[in-house]
């Protein structure tokens, strides 16, 4: 996958990823993703469809949630299948690591693809999870974190969605973080740099919040980390 395509994908979430992943839906496992020591997580063959690929809630359901002051779950509605994979894996991580808030909205930086092997396609990504509580028209982030990883995906024509994530390699937050990140990036400095790109993550974070708010027509105008200034949403439809 050419680097310029990856950079465009990082800036505009609605673009399609090139190659095999673009045209297929994605199936991911509900197995827990380990976050310790470049651990390879072997995924059981039994899988379920990712929340991110689920159908959008009906307008009636959304209106009921609004009246009950409840937020709908985040649904990725773009055309980028790699983003769907990242969203689904973020949901798996978040359910394991954090107490549920009103809504979890992910952000992710995708550094590279390798689609040369149908039985072991790879996505290098840093998955961020943000758990928000709605306060008025502001989403206040209460918890979250980052999870650099290498996801292994294989074609599975017999499954409902055509793909499975069968292994995830992650790194720790400790003193071995940099060494482990180098290892999963196969010592590719461009991948390491992109996975550490906080600016790219913040751009995607805002875009995904705007996607979420626009998709459900929510009366949300801003988001905020505790102790920081509010960030106003701009590109709403």
Strand partners, 232: 222
Nearest-Å Rg of the Cα atoms of the chain is 17
Question: In this structure, is residue 65 part of a structural domain?
Answer: yes
Question: In this structure, is residue 124 part of a structural domain?
Answer: yes
How confident is the model over 48-79, as pLDDT tens digits? 343 334 445 555 555 555 555 689 999 999 88
Question: In this structure, is residue 69 part of a structural domain?
Answer: yes
Question: In this structure, is residue 66 part of a structural domain?
Answer: yes
Question: In this structure, is residue 237 part of a structural domain?
Answer: no
User: How many Cα atoms within 13 Å fall on the side-chain side of residue 151?
Assistant: 30
User: How many Cα atoms within 13 Å fall on the side-chain side of residue 20?
Assistant: 20
Please check the confidence at residue 219 and state whether its pLDDT lies above 90.
Answer: yes
What is the pLDDT, as a whole number, of residue 66?
Answer: 52
Per the structure, the count of domains in the chain is: 1
How confident is the model over 165-209, as pLDDT tens digits? 999 999 988 889 999 999 999 999 999 999 999 999 999 999 999
How confident is the model over 109-156, as pLDDT tens digits? 999 999 999 999 999 999 999 999 999 999 999 999 999 999 999 988
How confident is the model over 102-115, as pLDDT tens digits? 999 999 999 999 99
Contact 94, 51 (CB under 8 A): no
First to last CA, the chain: 32
Cα 39 from Cα 8, distance rounded (Å): 30
Share of the chain above pLDDT 90, in %: 61
Which domain does 61 fall in, by range? 3-232
């Amino acid at each position: 996958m050419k680097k310029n395509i990856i950079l465009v994908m990082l800036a505009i979430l609605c673009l399609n990823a090139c190659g095999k992943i673009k045209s297929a839906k994605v199936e991911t496992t509900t197995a827990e993703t380990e976050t310790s020591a470049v651990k390879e997580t072997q995924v059981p063959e039994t899988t379920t469809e990712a929340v991110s690929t689920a159908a959008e809630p009906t307008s009636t359901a959304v209106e009921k949630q609004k009246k009950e002051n409840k937020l709908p779950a985040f649904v990725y509605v773009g055309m980028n299948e790699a983003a769907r994979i990242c969203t689904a894996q973020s949901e798996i991580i978040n359910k394991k690591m954090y107490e549920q808030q009103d809504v979890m909205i992910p952000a992710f930086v995708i550094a590279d693809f390798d689609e040369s092997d149908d039985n072991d396609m790879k996505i290098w990504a840093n998955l961020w999870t943000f758990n928000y509580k709605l306060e008025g028209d502001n989403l206040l982030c209460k918890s979250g974190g980052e999870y650099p990883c290498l996801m292994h995906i294989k074609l599975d024509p017999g499954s409902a969605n055509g793909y499975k994530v069968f292994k995830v390699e992650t790194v720790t937050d400790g003193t071995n973080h940099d060494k482990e990140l180098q290892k999963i990036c196969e010592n590719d400095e461009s991948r390491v740099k992109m996975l550490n790109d906080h600016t790219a993550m913040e751009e995607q974070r805002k875009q995904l919040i705007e996607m979420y708010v626009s998709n459900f027509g929510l009366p949300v105008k801003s988001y905020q980390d505790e102790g920081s200034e509010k960030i106003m949403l701009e590109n709403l439809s």
